[in-house]
Amino acid sequence: MRRMHAVTGASRVRLHPLRSRRDGDDWIVGRVETGNFVSFPDIGQRVIELLAEGGPIDAVAARVAAETGTTIDVADFVAALIDVGFVAEIDGRPTGDTGRERPSLPWLKPRHVRWTLRSGVHIGLVAFILAGLAALAVRPEIMPSPSIMAWSEFGTVSLVTQIAIAWSLVMLHELAHLCTARAAGVPGRITLGSRLQFLVVQTDVSGVWGEEKRVRMTVYLAGMALDAAIAAAGFVLLCVVPPEEGAHTALSIVVLTQIDAMSFQLLIFMRTDLYFVAQDLAGCRNLYGDGVAYGRYLIARLLGRDGASPLARFSRRERSAVRLYTMLLVLGTAVCLAVAATIVVPALAAIAMPAIDTLLNGGEGAAIVDAAIVVTVLAGVQGLWARTWWRRHGPRIRRWFASAAALLGAPVRAGGSRPAVDEPEFSTERCSVEPGRRA
């Protein structure tokens, strides 16, 4: 928890290292190591620049007033900066928690991977992908059949093989995000997450928000580019490896896995890699959050409730982007959940129930081992999904239950609460950038 210190006109502030860039009429300012970025108007950026020089707060306020003719309560502004984690010390006293998390692969330095941002590497990668597509165009018969996924007479062997290949490719995908971000000096952190019914591996590279657009796009698309390159290599090798060899089967599984992974990225309503590309191109800072807020506003209107539109403060371009994304968000989520309820869950049940029946009622030794592996794998994957889902949504669910209990008059034991504070007059919304992919 961040310790609060009294801020007076004589206080001097030391800020954490901040990175800033112009974004339309505003400035995007934030800490690379935490990924927390905030938008400021020009006058807010100027206050930050003056605070960074180390002068007392009253002197900063006087200088801003002299330069702009506008009176700013710099003490309140500093309190808001403390709340978003930008202030390291006040009058030589640390403010407390820095919000910094340990990055993945901390030994990986920018100098090790700076080549990933070079244009020549990108051009070579595109050429390699085109070569793979050319191989497929010349020899369309090399496209693997989905039936190859069940290559072994033992279902468990096929399942374990697919999982091993898929997770290996997932980590390579995330490593591509991590390396390109680290090349720009952004720490990056690989974690598990959830997107609706999908378990995902995601790389938090929020610190890239302070970089130029070319770098941001490179980081967003790095995973997909590597996926496409691996698939292209698979197509080229399938042209020369005889179908009867085991390597041909392995290459076929790799190609199909990568095609499936890249198609998943098209589901931008779940904040996939292409979502961040779309968000950046649309000039939005939190397309998903704004889409959810606008969707709730529309539902409230349908229910006859009045309220201000969350799009009122946006530009015309942003309003159009959020409206379109809200439509994709609602339709995509509905279709995705419907597919889960009508296809995915019954399919998992069809796989799990015979295995459970074998474990409960007995059978031959090989059948029992096969059933045990199937149940273990399915339970492990679903358990990981449930854990990551609850870690993200659990606090909100607990708040809902607490609110419901309060409405019903049930006594609820409450813990410590955070003092209410006035909302600062600038956006404190985190520009979260977590390109993810299905596991």
What are the φ and ψ backbone dihedral angles of 90, each rounded to 5 degrees? -125, 120
Q: Which amino acid type is present at position 364? A: E
pLDDT tens digits along 381-406: 889 889 988 888 888 888 888 777 77
Q: What is the mean pLDDT of residues 295-319?
A: 88
Whether residue 153 sits in one domain with residue 243: yes
- Answer yes or no: do 120 and 148 share one domain: yes
Whether residue 270 sits in one domain with residue 122: yes
The answer to whether residues 112 and 188 belong to one domain is yes
Is position 120 within any domain?
yes
> Could you tell me the pLDDT band of residue 121, with boundaries at 50, 70 and 90?
very high
pLDDT single digits (tens) 201-251: 999 998 898 899 999 999 999 999 999 999 999 999 999 999 888 899 999
* 311 inside domain: no
Q: Are residues 77 and 125 in the same domain?
A: no
Sign of the alpha-carbon torsion through 201, 207, 209, 213: negative
Domain that holds residue 143: 106-281
For the chain, the domain total comes to 2
pLDDT at 1 (0 to 100): 43
Q: What is the pLDDT of residue 274?
A: 94
Answer yes or no: do 179 and 243 share one domain: yes
Residue 292 domain-assigned (yes or no) = no
Whether 65 and 167 share a structural domain: no
d(CA 92, CA 375): 57
73 within a domain of the structure (yes/no): yes
Which carries the bigger pLDDT value, residue 47 or residue 98? 47
Question: Two tokens at 224?
Answer: 């997909």
For the stretch 145-148, contacts whose Cβ atoms lie closer than 8 Å and that sit 24 or more positions apart, written own/partner, are 145/252, 146/256, 148/249, 148/252, 148/253, 148/256
Q: Are residues 261 and 112 in the same domain?
A: yes
Calpha distance 234→139 (Å, rounded): 13
The answer to the question of residue 250 being in a domain is yes
**Nearest residue to 219 (alpha-carbon basis) of 264, 174, 259, 262:** 174
Q: Residue 294 domain-assigned?
A: no
What interhelical angle do 365-407 and 345-361 show, nearest 10?
120
User: Which runs of consecutive H residues, i.e. helices, occur in 84-241?
Assistant: 110-113, 119-138, 155-183, 213-238
Structural domain contains residue 362: no
Please give the angle made by the CA atoms of 408, 411 and 414, to the nearest 5 degrees: 120
- 128 in the same domain as 246: yes
Q: Tell me the pLDDT tens digit for each residue of 6-41.
A: 778 888 899 999 999 998 888 999 998 888 888 889
Final residue before a domain boundary, out of 39, 73, 94: 94
Domain-terminating residue out of 281, 303, 329: 281
Nearest residue to 267 via CA among 213, 209, 331, 317: 331
Q: What is the largest CA-CA distance in the chain?
A: 87
Q: What's the mean pLDDT in 334-340?
A: 88
Each as own residue / partner, the long-range contacts of residues 244-249 (CB below 8 Å, 24 or more positions apart, any chain) are 249/148, 249/151
3-state secondary structure of 92: coil
Strands of the sheet with 19-23, listed across from one edge: 19-23, 26-31, 36-40
The pLDDT of residue 413 is: 41
Domain boundary among 231, 256, 281: 281
| Same domain as 121, residue 184 | yes
CA–CA–CA angle 62, 68, 69 (5° rounding):
75
Note whether 84 and 138 are same-domain residues. no
In a domain, 145, yes or no: yes
Sign of the dihedral through C-alpha 51, 52, 55, 56: positive
Residue keyed to tokens 């490179």: 218
- Are residues 264 and 117 part of one domain? yes
